[in-house]
Amino acid sequence: AQSVTQLGSHVSVSEGALVLLRCNYSSSVPPYLFWYVQYPNQGLQLLLKYTSAATLVKGINGFEAEFKKSETSFHLTKPSAHMSDAAEYFCAVSPSNDYKLSFGAGTTVTVRA
């Protein structure tokens, strides 16, 4: 079975500061890992995905994530937060041979001016 754990249900950052969202996964097979963003009253949108190619993955809106097998982690970062980054962020995992995408509990990001 596969699952993800997001550490911290809420992260507050100042505009221009580093954004760091933590995600650890558990998977019995090599995983495919994803970060999705959900803006208020909208559906989820893919930020980036890891599919066993490069361990450092770059996504949209200046976000990137690094896959670390030894730490079973896939943390999301952005060097400089913008007010528009305020949203809910979900880490998700899928085994390479399954249709089922399992989501973490989500992390709410607020950005202070």
Please report, as ranges, the residues that interact with other proteins according to CB under 8 A: 32, 34, 36, 38, 41-46, 49, 51, 88, 90, 94, 96-103, 105-106, 108
Minimum distance from residue 40 beta carbon to other proteins (Å):
11
d(CA 77, CA 75): 7
Minimum distance from residue 101 beta carbon to other proteins (Å):
4
Closest CB to other proteins among 45 and 80? 45
33: helix, strand or coil: strand
Percentages (nearest 5) of helix, strand, coil residues in the chain: 5, 55, 40
Minimum distance from residue 52 beta carbon to other proteins (Å):
10
